[in-house]
Amino acid sequence: MRISGRRTLLRASSPFGAFSVTVLAMASSLFASFGFVSFSAAAASAQLLAGEEDRVPVDEVVAVINNEPITRRDIDRTIDSLVELAEKRNAMEIDENDPAVRRQIFPDAVLRAIYDKLLQQMAVKEDFVVEQKVEQRIRLEREKAGSEAAFQRMLAEQEMTLSELEDSFATDERTNTFVSTYFGFGDADPTKRPSVDMNVSPGEIVAYYRENRAEFQIRAAVKLRQIYVSNKRHGGRDGATDVIQDVLERVKAGEDFRKLAEEFDDLASREAGDLGWITPEKEGDYPSAVIEFAKRADVGQVSPPELTQFGIYVTWIEDRRESESLAFRDVQERIRQQLLMQKYNRYEDLMLAKLFDRAVIHPAQLAESIRLRAERMRSSGG
């Protein structure tokens, strides 16, 4: 069982997180070159990248931010959070214990941990009252566990004491409040709002509509739902196959696929197995078997079972639609919100660049990677 993670600001630009591919490549290079605080930290990082986590103590230092260390334990928790986000974004199960997966995520996790540490350091300087929220979160975790014994087992699995969990939640809540205050969109403190012009004129909206007509062309699409059954949750491949066969028999008997998906779909990140509307440009995001079935099948049909490394799934054709153009009156508010968000994102980049500018980061090569990231943020922020 995972303990709920903190909210973060950074916009996703890779399958696992928030930093650009260029920065990830630089980070991967610097980790491989042993540019860390000490030889032991460099060796620990190399072992993490090689998937040899069992050889790395959980308290081994990976980086130092303003004299505060980031350890392997911090990276592990960040990796868990990034995997959870990736599973939700991609509607698929990811084996977070796979060494290849962890090697792919590790550079992003280090940079994400640095970002989190910077926000935490800024947040602790503010006089935010979070005790009540921490109590509520502890109570919710106990309720999720179902019993005090299960709650204690969960803490043991996370290698945490109750006091450490309370401290972690307090840090989360201070950081979340800091983010809402300084970065919040709509509910931020007006005295700490950006100096960037956050107004969108009617002329800007009209110009955007005229220059981006293709964006407001609804493409022909098919709406899909899926029931995915995990091998791990049903005692292996045979157990998962039995569940899928039962689902198919119930569909054949006339039961509603959506209700069956609510009951049987093992991907909690999606609602009742909903894959949404699949347009031609999105076809590459899905297995070829799903797309081939979607193209030839009629509305209401269910695919044969398809096997994956971790489970088995069936797909249902829920609906189809033809292409059409959206009128300006139907999209002008959407355009306004989109342009407003673009301006806010520019402000966000400027704020994050300031955080990076003020940080003292070791080792020097890592600091240089962050400095370059900050320069790009300032450039995008105007």
> Same domain, yes or no, for 132 and 65?
yes
Number of domains in the chain: 2
pLDDT (tens digit per residue) in 71-124: 878 888 888 888 877 776 665 677 767 777 777 777 777 777 887 888 888 888
pLDDT, position 78: 83
52 pLDDT tier (thresholds 50, 70, 90): low
> Same domain, yes or no, for 157 and 73?
yes
> Same domain, yes or no, for 314 and 364?
no
Place of tokens 């995972």: 2
> Same domain, yes or no, for 91 and 36?
yes
pLDDT (tens digit per residue) in 190-205: 455 555 566 889 999 9
> Same domain, yes or no, for 47 and 144?
yes
pLDDT (tens digit per residue) in 109-126: 777 788 788 888 888 888
Question: Quick one: which of 130, 108, 105 has its CA closest to 120?
Answer: 130
Q: Which of 278, 304, 322 is the last residue before a domain boundary?
A: 322
Residue 208 domain flag: no
Question: Quick one: which of 82, 86, 89, 87 has its CA closest to 110?
Answer: 82
Percent residues over pLDDT 90 in the chain = 29
- For residue 263, is pLDDT > 60? yes
Residue 86 domain flag: yes
pLDDT (tens digit per residue) in 113-168: 887 888 888 888 888 889 999 999 999 999 988 999 999 998 998 888 999 999 98
Q: Average pLDDT of 167-194? A: 71
pLDDT, position 15: 33
Place of tokens 């009617």: 202
> Same domain, yes or no, for 317 and 353?
no
Max avg pLDDT among 48-57, 177-186, 322-331 = 322-331
Burial level of 126, CB count in 10 A (0-12/13-18/19+)? exposed
Query: Of the given ranges (59-68, 119-128, 156-165, 272-281), which has the lowest mean pLDDT?
Result: 59-68
Higher per-residue confidence, 193 vs 360: 360
> Same domain, yes or no, for 83 and 176?
yes
Residue 302 domain flag: yes
Q: Hey, which residues does 274 pair with through a beta bridge? A: 225
Q: Average pLDDT of 314-328? A: 90
Residue 82 domain flag: yes
Residue 307 domain flag: yes
Higher per-residue confidence, 247 vs 350: 247
DSSP annotation of 17 reads B
Query: Of the given ranges (94-98, 234-238, 276-280), which has the lowest mean pLDDT?
Result: 94-98
Q: Average pLDDT of 227-251? A: 92
CA atoms within 13 A on the CB side of 260: 25
> Same domain, yes or no, for 61 and 137?
yes
- Write out the two tokens for 306: 């398809």
Question: Quick one: which of 3, 101, 1, 114 has its CA closest to 53?
Answer: 101
Cis before 363? omega within 30? yes
Residue 5 domain flag: no
| Domain coverage including residue 175 | 21-180+349-381
> Same domain, yes or no, for 172 and 26?
yes
The answer to whether 315 and 303 are in contact (CB under 8 A) is yes
Residue 70 domain flag: yes
How far is the C-alpha of 21 from the C-alpha of 28, rounded, in Å?
10
pLDDT, position 346: 76
> Same domain, yes or no, for 25 and 171?
yes
Q: What is the CATH number of the domain that holds 245?
A: 3.10.50.40
pTM above 0.85, yes or no: no
- For residue 5, is pLDDT > 50? no
> Same domain, yes or no, for 241 and 310?
yes
Residue 209 domain flag: no
- For residue 262, is pLDDT > 50? yes
The answer to whether 247 and 265 are in contact (CB under 8 A) is no
Q: What is the CATH number of the domain that holds 137?
A: 1.10.4030
pLDDT, position 148: 93
> Same domain, yes or no, for 375 and 311?
no
